[in-house]
Amino acid sequence: QKEVEQDPGPLSVPEGAIVSLNCTYSNSAFQYFMWYRQYSRKGPELLMYTYSSGNKEDGRFTAQVDKSSKYISLFIRDSQPSDSATYLCAMRGNTPLVFGKGTRLSVIA
């Protein structure tokens, strides 16, 4: 079992939809959880950073962590075509980041 599992998609939604992206993990030592957005042939951009169970909101983005289930989510409200990218979850304990494979999202106008 890989440390971090993420459905690679692709996921295609109409503009304005609510998008749900998810990752599961197996290492209970992971304490810090991030979501990155990566456009094609670009470096990842940090979107959200959380370290506790519960929800964290930033504009149209909400990150959710459930440590008991080892499950994290990223919700995107009112999705826009500009949100079309690959979204990578990442997490760590006292070790370097471990990334999921990324989910390719397309928001269709």
Partner 1 sequence: GAVVSQHPSWVICKSGTSVKIECRSLDFQATTMFWYRQFPKQSLMLMATSNEGSKATYEQGVEKDKFLINHASLTLSTLTVTSAHPEDSSFYICSASTSAVGEEQYFGPGTRLTVT
Binding residue for partner 1, selected from 1, 14, 28, 43, defined by CB under 8 A? 43
Residue 84, φ and ψ in degrees, nearest 5: -65, 115
- When asked if residue 35 is in the footprint of partner 1 (CB under 8 A), the reply is no
Q: Is 84 helix (H, G, I), strand (E, B) or coil?
A: coil
- When asked if residue 1 is in the footprint of partner 1 (CB under 8 A), the reply is no
Which residue number, 17 or 38, has a Cβ lying nearer to partner 1? 38
Which residue number, 8 or 81, has a Cβ lying nearer to partner 1? 8
- When asked if residue 56 is in the footprint of partner 1 (CB under 8 A), the reply is no
- For 20, 28, 64, 83, 108, the CA distances from 16, given in Å and listed in that order, are 13, 35, 20, 11, 9
**17-25, 54-62, 77-85, 96-104 -> range binding partner 1 (CB under 8 A):** 96-104
**22-30, 42-50, 55-63, 75-83 -> range binding partner 1 (CB under 8 A):** 42-50
- For 36, 55, 87, the CA distances from 108, given in Å and listed in that order, are 21, 27, 16
Residues 6+ apart with CB under 8 A from 84: 105, 106, 107
| Alpha carbon distance 61, 72 (integer Å) | 13
Residues engaged in binding partner 1 (CB under 8 A)? 6, 8, 32, 36, 41-46, 49, 88, 92, 94-97, 99-102, 104
